[in-house]
Amino acid sequence: MRKATIFLLLGLLSFLFSNSQIITDSSQTLGEVIVKAYEQNQTLKKIPAAINQISKARLERFSNTNILAALNSTPGVHMEERSPGSYRMNIRGSTLRSPFGVRNVKVYWDGIPFTDPGGNTYLNQLSFFNFNSLEVIKGPAGSLYGAGTGGAILINSTTDQLVPTLAANLIYGSYDLGAANVQFNQGKESFKNTFNFSHQQSHGYRYHTSMRRDVVTWQTQIASGKKESIHFNLLYGDLFYETPGALTKTEYQNNPKAARPAAGAFPSADKAKAAIFQKTWLGGLNNHYKFSQNFENSFVFYAAYSNIKNPTFRNYEARKEPHLGGRTVFTWKPNAKNVATTFVFGGEMQQGSFNIRTYSNTNGRPGTILTNDDVKNRIWSAFTQADLKLKHDIDITAGLSINKSSIKIRRLTNPSLPLQKRSYKNEAAPRLAISKKIFADLYLYGSVAKGFSPPTTAEVLPSTSIISTGLNAEHGINYETGIKSTWLDKHLYIEVNAFYYRLKNAIVQRRDASNADYFTNAGATKQKGIETQASYLFLNSNNSFVRNARLWISHTWSNFTYSDFKQLTNDYSGKKLPSVAKHIVSAGADINLKPGIYFNITYYYSDPIPLNDANTEYASSYNLLGGRIGWKKETKKKNKFDLFAGIDNAFDITYSLGNDINAAGGRYYNAAAGRNFYCGVSLGLF
C-alpha cells in the first residue's frame, strides 16, 4: 500500500509546477473566528464562556498524525497519550476519573453525540483527517450539552463550503511511523459527498507499543430547497494498539523504553499480549429545517456499535457496546424592539445495551470466564437557553437543563445475585453568563454554572469487576470571569479568564494491590485557575519577503486541592489533586515567506505533576521544543502542494506524558517518545 501511495503522489506532482503562486495563511485574528458553541454562532470574543478554538491551520502546525500537540498549545487543556493510540483528555483536571480513555467530557462529532451513554468516548477511533476544527468548552457545559463537569468538545470534520477536491497525504517518521490519507469531495450545492480513508501505523518508542488504525468515512449533504438540508454520516474504524503498562520510577529511570516486566503473579506486557482491539461502526442523520426566518430546528439521530477486546495483565476483557440516541435543538428569534433575543430549547437521549465479559488471560486469548454482565444504560436531558442583547452592549445568556441517568447490571455468571441498578435523580444544571463591551473590542464577561456528573459505566463496573452502584454523582458550582480583546487593528488578541470551582462528591480513581482501577467519592475539592492566551500578527503583507508572521503564547495556572477527603485512616484534605500541573506554558511562532516557505516553532513547559492523593510522588517538570518547515505552492487552477518536515522533542527529554494516577507499587510512569522526526507531502487537486 505504501508503494502504491507513493506512485500516486509522484504522478500528481506533475500538475503542480506550472504558473504557481504561494499559499498565504489568513490574517484573521483568533477573536474574529466564528464559533458554534452554545448555539450562539458568533465571534469568539463575544461569547461569555471559556472556549478554546483549534482551527485547521493550528492542527496543521505539527505532524498531521494526531490532535494532541494542537490541543496542548491551548490553555486549560492537557491531552495525554500513554502509548500510541491510547488517549486521555484533561480539561481542568478531568483525568482524575480516567485511568484510560476520555471520560467526563461530552464530545460531539458534526453534531452527533460521540460519547456513548456509558460516558466513555473513543476519541482514538478518529484519525487526524477527521478533524477540520474543534471547539473545547471548559468547565460545566451541562446547561446545553447534558450532564458533565469536565466540559465539552465540538468536532467539525468538514468545512461549510465544500469544494470538489481530490486530496492525498503521505507521512513518514521515526519509530516506523507511516500514515496515508485520501479524500474525495464531489457534488454541487444540492448534493455533496465526501469520502475519506485514513491509515496510520507505528512501532512506537517503547517496547510493546505497536499500533495500527484504519478509518473510513462517508458524509453526504442534501439540500432540499431553501428550507431543508440533510446530512448523513457513516464511519467505520478499526484500531489496534499494544499497551506496555506503566513502570516504577526505578524501571523508568533505568530504561524508559521498557514495557512492564513480570511482577509477582502477573506476567509481563509481552507475555500477556496486552493490547486493545477496537472496532466501531457509527451512522448518523442530521436534518436541519427552517420553518421561517425566525424559527428553525436541527434533529440528529444516530446508531453505533463498538466491539472491544482487551487482554491485560489481570484478565481478558471483551465488550460489545451497541447504542443509539438522538438530539433535537429548536432556535427561535422573535422580533423585539430594541432587544435582540434568541431562544434555544430541545433535548437529548441515549440508550445502550452492553455486554461485558471478563476471562482469564491465556497468552493473549480468553480462558476461563470470570464474569458476564449485561449492562443497560440510559441518559436523557431537556434544555433551554435564552440569549438577550440589551442596550449599552450588554449580552445575557441564561440556560438550564434537567438530566436523568440510570444503569442496570445483571450478572449472568451469578444468577442468584439480584439485578443491580441505580437511578440518579433529576438534576438541574443552570448557567448564567453576562458579557459587557467596555470599549471598542474589549469585552468583560462573568458566569456561574452548576455541574452534575453521574458515574460512567466503567466507574460503576471497573476493572476489578466489583459492581459499585453505591458510587454517587459528583456536582459543584463554577464561578468564572474573564476578558477578551483585540487591539492594534485586530492584529493582537488577548484573553484572560479566572475560575473557582467547588466540587462535592468528586469521583476519584484509585488502584488495588493488583493495579486494577476502582473509584470512590472524595468529600470536596477546590479548583482555582487562571488561563491566559495572546496572539500577535506582527507582519501581514503580500509585498514583502516575509508575507506574515505571528507569535502566540498561552499560560495555565492551576491550584487544585482536596478541601475534604478522608479515606480510612488517611486524610488527604489540603493535598493537591493528582494529574494537574501548577503551571503550563505553551508558545510558538509561525512565519510564511514569499517563496512559499514556512516555519512553525513550538515550545511547551510543564511543572511537576503530583501522582497520588498523598502527594508523595511527583512526575518531574519538562521542557519540549518542536518545529516544522515546509514549502507550499498553489497553481492558477487552485491545485495545492505542501512538502514538509519536522522534529518533536528536540531536546530529547525523558518525560511521562500519561501518568497512571494512584498506581499500586508506584507504577506511575509511561514514557513519551524521545527526539523524533517526520516528513510528509499533501496534494490537493481541484
Tens digit of each residue's pLDDT (9 = 90 or more) over 356-389: 999 999 999 999 999 999 999 999 999 999 999 8
Q: What is the dihedral of CA 433, 438, 441, 446, to 10 degrees?
A: -20
Mean pLDDT for 307-324 is 95
Query: How far apart, in whole angstroms, are the C-alpha atoms of residue 488 and residue 493?
Result: 9
Banded pLDDT at 501 (limits 50, 70, 90) = very high
Mean pLDDT for 479-489 is 93
- For the record, the C-alpha cell of 72 comes out as 496542548
Q: What residue numbers bound the domain in which 503 lies?
A: 2-685
In this prediction, residue 13 carries a pLDDT of 36
Q: What is the dihedral of CA 259, 264, 265, 267, to 10 degrees?
A: 20
Banded pLDDT at 242 (limits 50, 70, 90) = very high
Q: What is the DSSP string of 266-297?
A: BPPHHHHT-EEEEEEEEEEEEEEEESSSSEEE
| pLDDT above 70: residue 240 | yes
Banded pLDDT at 139 (limits 50, 70, 90) = confident
In this prediction, residue 392 carries a pLDDT of 86
For all residues of the chain together, what is the average pLDDT? 89
Sequence-distant (6+) residues with CB within 8 A of 525 are 476, 501, 502, 503, 506, 560, 561, 562, 563, 565, 577
Banded pLDDT at 337 (limits 50, 70, 90) = low
| Rg for the chain, CA atoms, rounded | 25
- Reduced to 3 DSSP states, what percent helix, strand and coil does the chain have, rounded to the nearest 5? 10, 60, 35
In this prediction, residue 412 carries a pLDDT of 95
Banded pLDDT at 19 (limits 50, 70, 90) = very low
In this prediction, residue 109 carries a pLDDT of 95
What's CA 361's distance to the chain center, in Å?
Answer: 31
In this prediction, residue 28 carries a pLDDT of 55
In this prediction, residue 18 carries a pLDDT of 35
In this prediction, residue 531 carries a pLDDT of 97
Range with the poorest average pLDDT among 59-63, 219-223, 240-244? 219-223
Mean pLDDT for 667-684 is 95
Mean pLDDT for 298-305 is 97
Query: How far apart, in whole angstroms, are the C-alpha atoms of residue 329 and residue 343?
Result: 10
Banded pLDDT at 277 (limits 50, 70, 90) = very high
Whose CA is closest to 288, among 348, 345, 232, 350? 232
- For the record, the C-alpha cell of 497 comes out as 479568564
Mean pLDDT for 289-318 is 94
- For the record, the C-alpha cell of 473 comes out as 454523582
DSSP H or E stretch at residue 458? helix 457-460
- Taking CA atoms, 574 is separated from 505, 526, 571, in Å, by 16, 9, 9
| pLDDT above 70: residue 11 | no
In this prediction, residue 99 carries a pLDDT of 61
- For the record, the C-alpha cell of 213 comes out as 488504525
Contact between 183 and 195 (Cβ < 8 Å): yes
151-156/106-109 β-pairing: parallel
Query: How far apart, in whole angstroms, are the C-alpha atoms of residue 155 and residue 166?
Result: 22
Query: How far apart, in whole angstroms, are the C-alpha atoms of residue 134 and residue 35?
Result: 9
Q: Which residue has the cell 517518521?
A: 173
Q: What is the pLDDT of residues 180-189, one digit of tens each?
A: 999 999 888 7
In this prediction, residue 1 carries a pLDDT of 42
Banded pLDDT at 14 (limits 50, 70, 90) = very low
Amino acid identity of residue 626, one-letter, is G
In this prediction, residue 636 carries a pLDDT of 67
Higher pLDDT, 160 or 462: 462
Range with the poorest average pLDDT among 142-156, 164-178, 296-310, 477-491? 142-156
pLDDT above 70 covers a percentage of the chain that reads: 93
Whose CA is closest to 52, among 586, 620, 654, 640? 586
Helix residue spans in 111-153 (DSSP H): 142-145
Whose CA is closest to 411, among 381, 439, 375, 379? 375
pLDDT above 90 covers a percentage of the chain that reads: 67
- DSSP state for residue 462 in the 8-state scheme: -
| pLDDT above 50: residue 126 | yes
Which CATH number characterizes residue 569's domain? 2.40.170.20
Query: How far apart, in whole angstroms, are the C-alpha atoms of residue 59 and residue 451?
Result: 30
User: Could you give the number of structural domains in the chain?
Assistant: 1
Sequence-distant (6+) residues with CB within 8 A of 622 are 605, 606, 653, 655
Q: Residue 185: beta bridge partners?
A: 165, 194
Query: How far apart, in whole angstroms, are the C-alpha atoms of residue 154 and residue 137?
Result: 8
In this prediction, residue 134 carries a pLDDT of 94
Q: What is the dihedral of CA 142, 380, 135, 169, to 10 degrees?
A: 160
Query: How far apart, in whole angstroms, are the C-alpha atoms of residue 244 and residue 377?
Result: 31
Sequence-distant (6+) residues with CB within 8 A of 130 are 109, 155, 157, 196, 198, 215, 217, 235
In this prediction, residue 514 carries a pLDDT of 67
Range with the poorest average pLDDT among 50-64, 159-173, 265-279, 383-397? 159-173
In this prediction, residue 457 carries a pLDDT of 87
Contact between 100 and 171 (Cβ < 8 Å): no
In this prediction, residue 7 carries a pLDDT of 36
Dihedral angle sign, alpha carbons of residues 358, 359, 361, 366: negative
Contact between 192 and 163 (Cβ < 8 Å): no
In this prediction, residue 16 carries a pLDDT of 34
Query: How far apart, in whole angstroms, are the C-alpha atoms of residue 588 and residue 573?
Result: 38
Banded pLDDT at 283 (limits 50, 70, 90) = very high
Q: Residue 374: beta bridge partners?
A: 355, 410
Dihedral angle sign, alpha carbons of residues 282, 425, 408, 314: positive
Mean pLDDT for 415-432 is 90
Dihedral angle sign, alpha carbons of residues 61, 67, 72, 74: positive
- What phi and psi, each to the nearest 5 degrees, are found at residue 59? -60, -35
Higher pLDDT, 5 or 39: 39
